[in-house]
Amino acid sequence: MAGENGEAVRNKQVIFRDYVSGFPENTDMEVRESTMKLRLLEGSNGLLVKNLYLSCDPYMRFRMTKPNVPVYVEPFRPGSPITGYGVARVLESGHPNFKKGDLLWGLTGWEEYTLITAPETCFKIEHTDVPLSYYTGLLGMAGMTAYAGFFEVCSPKKGETVFISAASGAVGQLVGQLAKLFGCYVVGSAGSKEKVDLLKNKFGFDDAFNYKEEQDLDAALKRCFPEGIDIYFENVGGKMLDAVLLSMKLHGRVAVCGMISQYNLEQPEGIHNLTNFILKRIRMEGFVVTDYYHLYPKFLEMVLPQIKEGKIVYVEDTAEGLENAPTALIGLFYGCNVGKQVVVVSHI
C-alpha cells in the first residue's frame, strides 16, 4: 500500500472556506489535494484512519455559522477540512480500544485520511454482515436519533397517532418504521411525490402527504388525523409546527429533533398557535442524540435482527467521491436527497 512505511500520500480534502450566512453554497467549500504521512507520532493515542463513507447531516449547517456565545456546537475552522460523522478503517492505532484493520464510525474529517485525536468518541463496528455505509445513518447517529427520540422522548403508547415531518429522510424513515412496529398509526410528510410513494409503499406508513402541494397544512393534517395527533416527531419547524399544534390531542407530545426549515434563515419564523399548549396540556421537548449514546448497544440489539429479517428497510442516496460532497451536503436544504445522504470516499 502506498504510504505504508510512513511516506507521504495524496490526501484529497473538502476545505471549509469561511463562515456562512443564509443558504450554504458550493463555493463555501473547496476540494483540495494535500499530502499526509501515514504514520502516528511516537506516544500518540490517536488513530490514523482511511475514510470510507461520510455522512451529510443538517446540523452541519450550525457549524458553518460564525460562533456566538454561548457555543453549543463546535464551529468548523475556516481553512481546515469539514468534519462530521463517517465510517473509517484504522491504519494505525495508538489507542488501546482499536487496532490496525478495525472498522469504526464516529467523527472524522472530509478527506481521504484523517488523524482522529479523540478515539474514545468513536464506536467500533462489530457487525459487518450489513452494508458498512449503514453506519453513517441507520446504524449510526441518525438511527440512534430516531430510536432515542421516539422511545425516550415521545413516551409512545400502542395505538397512538404519530406524525413525522421530513419523514423520508435519514431519521424520519426509521422513526416511522419503529412507530409502526410498536403499534402506532403513522403519517409522514415529505417534499415530493417520489418521497410520498416511498413512505406509503416502502416504509409502510399508514398515510403520507406532499407538504409542498398542500394549500392548507391544517386541513391536510385534519384529513389524515380526524381524531388528532398524540405524537409529533418534529424535524422541520416553522409553518408545519404551527399547523400541527392545532391538531395535537390532549396530553400530546412534541419531540423536537430538528427544525431544518429555519437553519438558513437570517430571521427565524414565529410560531403563533402556542396557546394550544395550555388547554391541551401538550409537552414539547428538545433533545440531542449524543445524550443517549449509552443506549447504542441496546439499540443495535433491537435493530440488527429487524434489518436482517427485512422488518426494517432503509433507503440511502449515495454521492460518489469527495468532489461531490459539497453538492450533496447543500442538497439537504433543498430536499435533493431521497433517503439518507451518504458520500463514498472509498469502497475498500
Ligand X SMILES: NC(=O)c1ccc[n+]([C@@H]2O[C@H](COP(=O)([O-])OP(=O)(O)OC[C@H]3O[C@@H](n4cnc5c(N)ncnc54)[C@H](OP(=O)(O)O)[C@@H]3O)[C@@H](O)[C@H]2O)c1
Residues at the interface with ligand X (CB under 6 A): 57-59, 142, 145, 166, 168-172, 190-192, 195, 235-236, 257-261, 287-289, 332-333, 335, 337, 340
Q: Which residue has the cell 474514545?
A: 120
User: In the complex, what is the shortest distance from the CB of residue 256 to ligand X, in angstroms, rounded to a whole number?
Assistant: 8
User: In the complex, what is the shortest distance from the CB of residue 317 to ligand X, in angstroms, rounded to a whole number?
Assistant: 8
What's the Cα-to-Cα distance from 262 to each of 62, 132, 265, rounded to whole Å? 11, 32, 5
Is 45 or 155 the residue whose CB approaches ligand X more closely? 155
Is 97 or 318 the residue whose CB approaches ligand X more closely? 318
Is 82 or 166 the residue whose CB approaches ligand X more closely? 166
Is 11 or 337 the residue whose CB approaches ligand X more closely? 337
User: In the complex, what is the shortest distance from the CB of residue 265 to ligand X, in angstroms, rounded to a whole number?
Assistant: 9
3-state SS string for the chain: CCCCCCCEEEEEEEEECCCCCCCCCHHHEEEEEEEEECCCCCCCCCEEEEEEEEECCHHHHHHHCCCCCCCCCCCCCCCCECEEEEEEEEEEECCCCCCCCCEEEEEEECECEEEECCHHHCEECCCCCCCHHHHHCCCCHHHHHHHHHHHHHCCCCCCCEEEECCCCCHHHHHHHHHHHHHCCEEEEEECCHHHHHHHHHCCCCCEEEEHHHCCCHHHHHHHHCCCCEEEEEECCCCHHHHHHHHHEEEEEEEEECCCHHHCCCCCCCCCCCCCHHHHCCCEEEECCHHHHHHHHHHHHHHHHHHHHCCCCCCCEEEEECHHHHHHHHHHHHHCCCCCEEEEECCCC
Is 82 or 260 the residue whose CB approaches ligand X more closely? 260
User: In the complex, what is the shortest distance from the CB of residue 172 to ligand X, in angstroms, rounded to a whole number?
Assistant: 6
User: In the complex, what is the shortest distance from the CB of residue 315 to ligand X, in angstroms, rounded to a whole number?
Assistant: 10
Task: Give the Cα separation of 139 and 303 in Å (integer).
Answer: 8
User: In the complex, what is the shortest distance from the CB of residue 82 to ligand X, in angstroms, rounded to a whole number?
Assistant: 16
Is 253 or 340 the residue whose CB approaches ligand X more closely? 340
Is 3 or 258 the residue whose CB approaches ligand X more closely? 258
Report CA 19 to chain centroid distance, whole Å.
22
User: In the complex, what is the shortest distance from the CB of residue 64 to ligand X, in angstroms, rounded to a whole number?
Assistant: 13
User: In the complex, what is the shortest distance from the CB of residue 91 to ligand X, in angstroms, rounded to a whole number?
Assistant: 28
Is 57 or 242 the residue whose CB approaches ligand X more closely? 57
What is the identity of the amino acid at 250?
L
